[in-house]
């Protein structure tokens, strides 16, 4: 249920509503919009609210039920789009944000070379896995804490906030120490303990869609994070399993406008995992931005043929520069902005 306060209601009124909700056994989530403040009442038996006298308070305009199973994530709860700040980079604002970096941090030279190239080309966030969820236990599993240290070094040198995956609840404190945004990977989208753990950090979270997850299941996963009080969640469409074998996954671009209608959270698209083939990445990045994505996340490697993971879907720095240019043109065509290449001090 949403409790909508009348315009002009102040802090004391909000606190009174929260106090009353908590006394009834509800969780209370306050959302201050441009026009109105609303309080989401989550949990227990909603019929209690009808008899609670809340609606009779002079500063309460109305009580509105949220019909979707996801509550805090829904557009009904917050009609303005959420802007998630990853340090100084806003996701969900006017700018289309390009996130780029290698699939995995493989070593210092590889990471710094990639970070410099993507920073110069106009990427705003650096991605790279230190803990890698691999299908085979014999495949490269990531550099772990050393990989996190290298990401932090790249951030200091090139000024790009860092997004990296965390795979287990017990790793959250370590990864949160280094990362600016925590990635929950497709394979962990329904690891509910992990979702709660990243929710408790208050750090921005990039929540990838599960390999076979419906949009509703994905949004319910986001609800776990918001239910811990962390509203800094960005959804990432990365392709789903279908009968099609020509591409690694089927990039579900329907999900972009669907999610935009159903939720207030930003959504980005990962055409690297979505297609599995480098020569499909730029066309699908353009399409994602045309469909309304708030950003794209792409894998870049200086020598894709030598990559320890996901080489076939990784762009070279030259091809990445081209992607940024084309994504920028589409962004402007749909009334959005996009970062241009940057001049960095010589390194």
Find out whether 274 and 239 touch, Cβ atoms under 8 Å: yes
Under the criterion CB under 5 A, does residue 160 sit at the interface with Mn ion? no
Under the criterion CB under 6 A, does residue 186 sit at the interface with ligand PEP? yes
Under the criterion CB under 6 A, does residue 208 sit at the interface with ligand PEP? yes
Residues 6+ apart with CB under 8 A from 67: 76
Question: Using CB under 6 A, which of 14, 66, 72, 103 touches ligand PEP?
Answer: 103
Find out whether 337 and 94 touch, Cβ atoms under 8 Å: yes
In the complex with ligand PEP, which residue's Cβ is closer, 1 or 213? 213
The three-point CA angle 205-329-299 to 5° equals 40
Find out whether 236 and 299 touch, Cβ atoms under 8 Å: no
In the complex with Mn ion, which residue's Cβ is closer, 59 or 140? 140
Under the criterion CB under 5 A, does residue 310 sit at the interface with Mn ion? yes
What are the distances in angstroms from CA 105 to CA 14, 70, 98, 187?
46, 35, 18, 19
For residues 41 and 71, what is the distance between their CA atoms, to the nearest angstrom?
9
Question: Using CB under 5 A, which of 39, 100, 103, 143 touches Mn ion?
Answer: 103
Chosen from Mn ion, ligand PEP, none, partner binding at 134 (C-beta under 5 to 8 Å by type)? none
Burial of 256 (0-12, 13-18, 19+ CB in 10 A): buried
**Sheet with 2-5, side-by-side order of all strands:** 27-32, 37-42, 2-5, 60-64
- In 3-state terms, what secondary structure has residue 168? coil
Under the criterion CB under 6 A, does residue 301 sit at the interface with ligand PEP? no
Site for ligand PEP in 263-292 (CB under 6 A): 273
Under the criterion CB under 6 A, does residue 328 sit at the interface with ligand PEP? no
Under the criterion CB under 6 A, does residue 238 sit at the interface with ligand PEP? yes
Under the criterion CB under 6 A, does residue 78 sit at the interface with ligand PEP? no
Under the criterion CB under 5 A, does residue 220 sit at the interface with Mn ion? no
Single out the segment in contact with Mn ion by CB under 5 A; choices: 102-110, 189-197, 254-262, 337-345: 102-110
Single out the segment in contact with ligand PEP by CB under 6 A; choices: 40-48, 93-101, 107-115, 182-190: 182-190
172 DSSP 8-state letter:
H
Q: What share of the chain is helix, strand, coil (3-state, %, to 5)?
A: 40, 20, 40
# of chain residues touching ligand PEP (CB under 6 A): 9
Under the criterion CB under 5 A, does residue 270 sit at the interface with Mn ion? no
In the complex with Mn ion, which residue's Cβ is closer, 103 or 268? 103
- Residues forming contacts to ligand PEP in the complex (CB under 6 A) are 103, 129, 133, 185-187, 208, 238, 273
């Amino acid at each position: 249920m949403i409790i909508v306060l009348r315009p002009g209601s102040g802090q004391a009124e909000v606190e009174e509503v929260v106090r009353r909700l908590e006394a009834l056994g509800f969780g209370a989530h306050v959302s201050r919009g441009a026009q109105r403040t609303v309080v989401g009442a989550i949990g227990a038996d909603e019929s209690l609210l009808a008899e609670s006298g809340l609606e009779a308070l002079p500063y309460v305009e109305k009580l509105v039920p949220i019909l979707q199973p996801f509550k805090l994530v829904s557009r009904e709860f917050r009609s303005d789009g959420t802007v998630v700040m990853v340090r100084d980079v806003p996701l969900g604002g006017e700018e289309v944000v390009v996130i780029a970096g290698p699939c995995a941090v493989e070593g210092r030279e590889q990471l710094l070379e990639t970070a410099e190239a993507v920073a110069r080309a106009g990427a705003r966030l650096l991605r790279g896995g230190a803990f890698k969820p691999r299908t085979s236990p014999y495949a490269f599993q990531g550099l772990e804490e050393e990989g996190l240290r290298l990401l932090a070094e790249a951030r200091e040198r090139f000024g790009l906030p860092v997004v990296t995956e965390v795979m287990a609840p017990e790793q959250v404190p370590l990864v949160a120490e280094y990362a600016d945004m925590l990635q929950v990977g497709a394979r962990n989208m329904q690891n509910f303990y992990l979702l709660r753990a990243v929710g408790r950090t208050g750090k921005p979270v990039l929540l990838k869609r599960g390999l076979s997850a419906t949009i509703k299941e994905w949004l319910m996963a986001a609800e776990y994070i918001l239910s811990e009080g962390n509203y800094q969640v960005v959804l990432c469409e990365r392709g789903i399993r279908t009968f099609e074998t020509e591409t690694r996954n089927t990039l579900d671009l329907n999900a972009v406008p669907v999610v935009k209608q159903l939720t207030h959270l930003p959504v980005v698209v990962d055409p690297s995992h979505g297609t599995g083939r480098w020569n499909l990445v730029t066309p699908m990045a353009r399409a994602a931005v045309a469909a309304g994505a708030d950003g794209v996340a792409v894998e870049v490697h200086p020598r894709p043929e030598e990559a320890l993971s996901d080489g076939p879907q990784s762009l070279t720095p030259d091809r990445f520069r081209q992607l940024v240019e084309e994504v920028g043109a589409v962004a402007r065509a749909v009334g959005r902005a996009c970062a241009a290449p940057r001049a960095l001090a010589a390194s």
